[in-house]
Homo-oligomer: A and B are copies of this chain.
């Protein structure tokens, strides 16, 4: 793969987290079933995650219009959770259980290849998160799952959310390297496209079961990505780590 990285020595790999490094569908489904007996955990997880894009769009619009400050993902998740609980007929959940359920996003399990794959990449590259998740969430998740980040970067550091260019270019600035010396690794083509537009290299990570076994995802390669890898171990293989 030396040819695709030609002209710019790769220094930093920034990882999208939800879906790419951790399995939010299984994690949320299991915690929902534990805390809300009788619920369909998989459906609950999909409903909660489906609320993310519209809620984030609203936050970004208000931020751009100067009408609101920065919102932590924990707060965003809590707002969506209220609606999802209502839709699932459990609107009367007590505050402590609701808070514990919201914290399920801090306790998501890593995909089975993630910890070892990251450890291999870490030997040669600086590896960090680049997620719209807040720092506290990402740190607790890493501590529990054993994700060996060199550094936890987040929308919270840049006060801008992906796909804002300030996040991708912010990674390069933090490490004092060129955008071409940074790769974004993600399971989502829109995230990768936004990073590519900023000059970053891109590594697509297949996660066919991101939305659960009932909703397999198209993981076909897209030619604009620098690398295409089955999982994080395969990314380490491609990079010769």
Contact = CB atoms under 8 A, between A and B. Distances in A.
A50 interface: no
A136 interface: yes
Contacts of A14: none
Nearest to A103: B176
B175 A139 contact: yes
A15 to B, nearest CB: 15
Nearest to A142: B150
Number of copies of this kind of chain in the complex: 2
Contact of A157 (B74, B143, B157, B175): B157
Contacts of A142: 150
A135 B174 contact: yes
Contacts of A140: 126, 175
A136 B176 contact: yes
Contacts of A139: 126, 128, 150-151, 174-175
Interface string A134-166: 111001101100000011110011000000000
Interface of A: 74, 126, 128, 134-136, 139-140, 142-143, 150-153, 156-157, 174-176
